[in-house]
Structure 1
């Protein structure tokens, strides 16, 4: 639906370049190719720190999520070659397992990239998907804006690149292969807008159903936001007096198409949805505090850490963490978008005005939702409730993080930016002071937001003990092995090393713990447990984590050894090993010597094998055999 120059219907496509007798715009492919190459170059620039050495470099702002998604890549190869369940595994968090449907399993990516994962490793698959996500998002938004909104390729290109590399998505480039898949939104919305085509309800319904299945497997939360935004837009647009007749005429076709969509998507997603909501090891909530993971109002007017403005010290620490700087547009961009909305609203026909009004209200609604249940302004919380307080316990909303609703605002800003640039480039705004001031405002708004590359650091290499398969001498078929400390989001080495063995194929080992979302240990009978990060900790893995994280060492007692014996039996643990290096997040140095002292005191002297220290676990025997 267009809000550009007048067209026969209020939602028809805007006129653009002349159309040839073949029905194609001349030289359109050249513009498409140019934008695609620019987007790919920018994505490579943002991720070049990982490309420099994908095997030794890791995202310093989010070691845990990179390990988790690398694990998923390895598990994708394991799924294809072993016929495993893509939505549940017992290789992680033994003996309980992990509900991958309730996590972000990116199944389509993991299956499609199995050849690359096997040949080059999950590390290369991870940075490949991350790079293509960023580039693909920018290109998809460009194509969407070019097709539905503006006639000028330059306007669509600039706005598309803004959407793909907006601060929120650069922030999520710190490990989130689901949220950097921003291309899902414009592709799904594109197909939603096509549902009104007469005589094509069956084909369009099938295509949308397939897209929803793909989108769910890659970015379920993002798909929820996209569906919600689309529904709100269509409802507001349809109620406008100027286009009510169009909406009424298209209603039957749209409903038939949506019926087909429901059948196709329901068939493909039946099992994943069952696993997500009712399968084993499912949970309620997200494991994250929704009050904490809400957008600070001041963040909309601030600059992000990874931007030109941030580089010169203009950023503010208003996000829950560096991976959730989801708005951070800066004052000039916010002011420009408000002015653009007012200017465009006064220049378009009534039908276009209905579309523009609906787009603007979607942006406003999602901005308010992003503030969460209580308002924060520059880290000061106000006690009065916001609209999200009434939604946070509803299904789907209870599993969402409010801060991420502001990513929808990125798309709204991209649409307004494209429309404004189309007016400026086409000179429908006459040359003069107003034209020059608006051009300058666009530059001042966009330039400070130019992204910086994601931060990387060294990570400990895969031990020869794992790479050479020496571990197989210590772990029987179906056995359990763990690095020290046990795998967690802040100590993720053991989880990613398991990923590398899965990618190579052959016999695998299980690990206790890991970085994932799962249920808490306690809860009322018959009631779904609240979610949390990782497995409920037991005394023994907590002892190892304290030593590694804080250097906290206590002399093990007989009670500690008895507890360790019970914990080892619970996990079915056959051996543990201590590598020469342990990766910490954000360049943190972990206390390997404290960990060695704790493990030796609890388990006795280790055995040096290849480049690690190994302790065999003899079940039913005291951990230290004195």
Structure 2
């Protein structure tokens, strides 16, 4: 990250806080804000807390299963000395490059004791809750430290930044994108780089933070660096703050050199694995044009909000997890009013800050619209700046819609600045009431609702009681039916739970991950299907029954040999990530292809022996 750090000009305006307060934060006044943030985060995730083991996110069971798998793999990594950035447990016999996936290594390691004791399900909801709470609280502290003097204003802005519609929508399964606390913590230390006499220490600390941020949310860290770069460039070129930026530049550049060395040492291996390791890839398995913001989304309301509950939600997002803007007309108008109102009353230094913030918001809003302009689902065919960026390194792995999260943070900062200014003035009662009503109209409809949850298939006794160990060798390959994919993730969950319990383990073919194999060498979601797993997927997802013949049985024998599969099982209940599954069709297909199963531990089990036709083998019991 190469930026010249600078804070809002304090030579132009009095500092927001006293020097004594800047030197050591008095924590007692901040505790109520921390409690509020934690209570709000618990409220948003409450549906999972009621029954973590059996309830899942209605909108995104696939990503929840993936992160539960990563958390289980954290226990496996520590217990077996496994590589945290490459695994053989998924996608047998090839494995998966975890450095090229969202493997949240710091979280999976730090929370491994909880995962071992309580299971990945509990750890998942714990991290999700703490992410949201820490994001709101960290932004509050950042605003209180650098931009506003009034605690109420900082609380308002911090909570909006932490619980903006986009971050609440990402609470549907994304432990990376809900880690919004990374941005204010990194920015805090970027601004500290300019302090005289401590450039070495601050550079080392920032390097540590960059390494942590990369391991949790690399895409978010990239957006943070990009936004910081735009802000600093505009701020440094502004006439009122140009001299201040020039004076701080030598210290900042020296500190950034230390940061680069520190982060480079810590990230040398994961960066190598990410960009040049085995089974890496370019791009992602997601269509950037699809995962882009509709212009109309900025003036609509999110579905998981009071406005959405009242029937004012919108369907302009790619899915419920990617409602990254959705601010509504009143808030968008208020944001513009805030810039104008503050600009007219600001000293030159603060105007530099407002200009830089506004530039960041406009640039990221336009980039969030993706490669082509879309307005209320109408494809205009008009090419946008992202079209020129989409194939560049880092941009090719990003989804443009998520750039709107930066816009949300800018709006939160503007709300804090506006509230701080209003609360510092002696306003007439009517004027104060009018401003209160304006804030209420803009923000009350956006109060979040808890994320939706629903029951998912319970862990079968075959897995929970360790019965599977009698049918598979240590590190042997076993699969649930249907095979694990983003849409049929149960099999990946079962493996995650066994890894969290340590001891003997099994590997699975396929799985939900990003890997090579897409068109033109780009990434794709999961493994390329073979005949056998495709038969089961069609049966589960579409209810398709095919007339299984000897060719299918031959291909099954070949596929099982390729994967090294020793056993196949079908639980009594199976859950789809986004839709119901046809279990009866899966069972019919399995019986036609593999013969009669054994009944054990709440599952139907087929044992596989290399070179033996499945039907002949199982018909003999």
TM-score grouping bracket, smaller chain normalisation: over 0.9
Mapped contact 1:366–1:406 kept (Cα < 8 A): yes
Hey, what does 1:261 align to over in structure 2? 259
**Correspondent of 2:479 among 479, 482, 500:** 482
Tell me which residue corresponds to 1:492.
Answer: 489
Which of the numbers 513, 527, 543 marks the counterpart of 1:535?
527
Paired positions, count: 612
1:573 aligns with 2:565: yes
> Structure 1 residue 521: deviation in Å?
6.2
Given that 1:2 and 1:150 are in contact with CA atoms closer than 8 Å, whether structure 2 keeps it comes out as no
- Name which of 189, 192, 204 aligns with 1:191: 189
C-alpha distance in structure 2 between counterparts of 1:12 and 1:322, whole Å: 44
Inter-partner Cα distance in structure 1 for 2:222 and 2:23: 36
In 1, the alpha carbon distance for the partners of 2:584 and 2:263 equals 53
Q: Out of 596, 605, 617, which is 1:605 matched to?
A: 596
RMSD between aligned alpha carbons? 1.5
8 and 390 in structure 1: CA distance in 2 versus 1, 3 angstrom threshold: closer
- 1:469 paired to 2:469: no
Residues 286-315 of structure 1, C-alpha deviations (whole Å, 9 max, x = no match): 110000000001000000010000001111
Aligned-pair CA distance for 1:620: 1.0
Q: Is the 8 A contact 2:557 2:613 kept in 1?
A: yes
Cα separation, 2, equivalents of 1:413 and 1:83: 45
Please name the residue that 2:3 is paired with.
Answer: none
Structure 2 unaligned segments of length 5 or more: list them.
1-5
Aligned mates of 1:179, 1:42 — CA distance in 2: 17
**Aligned match of 1:590:** 581
TM-score w.r.t. length of structure 1: 0.96
Distance 2:352 2:518 in 1: 51
- Secondary structure of 1:574's aligned partner: strand
1:563 deviates by 0.8
1:209 counterpart residue number: 207
2:248 is matched with which residue: 221, 246, 250?
Answer: 250
User: Residue 466 and residue 23 in structure 1: after superposition, are their counterparts in 2 closer, same or farther (change >3 A)?
Assistant: closer
Provide the residue aligned with 2:334 in structure 1. 336
1:9 aligns with 2:11: yes
Q: CA deviation at 1:8?
A: 5.1
Residue of structure 2 in register with 1:526 after alignment: none
Match of 2:398 in 1: 400
Measure how far apart 1:493 and its partner are. 0.6
1:410-468 deviation per Cα after TM superposition (whole angstroms, max 9, x unaligned): 1101110000010122226x326544332211111110000000000101111111111
How far did 1:96 drift?
0.9
Whole-angstrom CA distance in 2 between matches of 1:492 and 1:322? 18
Report if aligned partners of 1:2, 1:12 keep a CA contact under 8 Å in 2.
no
**Contact 1:512 1:571 (8 Å CA) reproduced:** yes
1:374 touches 1:389 (CA, 8 Å); kept in 2?
yes
What residue ranges of structure 1 are gaps of 5+ in the alignment?
524-528
Partner of 2:34: 36
Contact 1:91 1:509 in 2 (8 A): yes
- Residue 610 of structure 1: how far off its partner (Å): 1.8
Q: Which residue of 2 aligns with 1:276?
A: 274
CA–CA distance in 1 between the matches of 2:15 and 2:425? 19
Alignment partners' CA distance in 1, 2:347 and 2:590: 74
Q: How does 1:74-153 map to 2 (within 5 A)?
A: 74-153=72-151
- Residues in 1 aligned to 2:404 and 2:234: alpha-carbon distance in whole angstroms: 19
Judged with a 3 Å threshold, the aligned counterparts in structure 2 of structure 1 residues 556 and 506 are, in CA distance, closer, same or farther, namely same
Distance 1:384-1:589 versus aligned 2 partners, 3 A rule: closer
Superposition deviation, residue 593 in structure 1: 1.0
Q: What secondary structure, in the 3-state scheme, does the structure 2 residue paired with 1:383 have?
A: strand
Compute the displacement of 1:45 (Å).
0.6
Equivalent in the alignment of 2:552: 560
Structure 2: distance between partners of 1:600 and 1:11:
77
Which residues of 2 match residues 294-443 of structure 1 at below 5 A? 294-427=292-425, 430-431=427-428, 434-443=431-440
CA distance in 2, matches of 1:455, 1:257: 45
Deviation, structure 1 residue 470: 1.1
Aligned-pair distance for 1:23?
A: 6.3
Hey, what's the Cα distance between the residues in 2 that align with 1:375 and 1:490? Answer: 30
Structure 1 residue 477 displacement after superposition: 2.1
In the alignment, which residue of structure 2 is the partner of 1:547?
Answer: 539
Determine the C-alpha separation between the residues in 1 that align with 2:244 and 2:219: 31
Is 1:45 the counterpart of 2:43? The answer is: yes
Q: Deviations over 1:124-167 (max 9, x none)?
A: 00000000000000000000000000000110001111111110
Deviations 1:375-423 (A, max 9, x none): 1110001112100001001000000000000000111011100000101
Q: Distance in 1 between matches of 2:419 and 2:241?
A: 25
Per-residue deviation, residues 261-286 of structure 1 (Å, max 9, x unmatched): 00000000000000001111111111
Q: Are residues 2 and 433 of structure 1, via their aligned partners in 2, closer, same or farther at CA, if it must alter by over 3 Å?
A: farther
Give yes or no for contact 1:547–1:598 (8 Å, CA) kept in 2.
yes
SS at match of 1:177: coil
Q: Relative to structure 1, is the Cα distance of residues 124 and 458 closer, same or farther in structure 2, using a 3 angstrom cutoff? A: same
- SS of the equivalent of 1:556 reads coil
Distance 2:359 2:467 in 1: 60
Give 1:352 deviation, angstroms. Answer: 1.1
State the alpha-carbon separation in 2 of the partners of residues 600 and 399 from structure 1.
42
Correspondence for 2:448 among 451, 463, 467: 451
SS at match of 1:136: helix
2-structure distance, mates of 1:327, 1:320: 12
Counterpart secondary structure, 2:322: coil
Contact 1:133 1:183 in 2 (8 A): yes
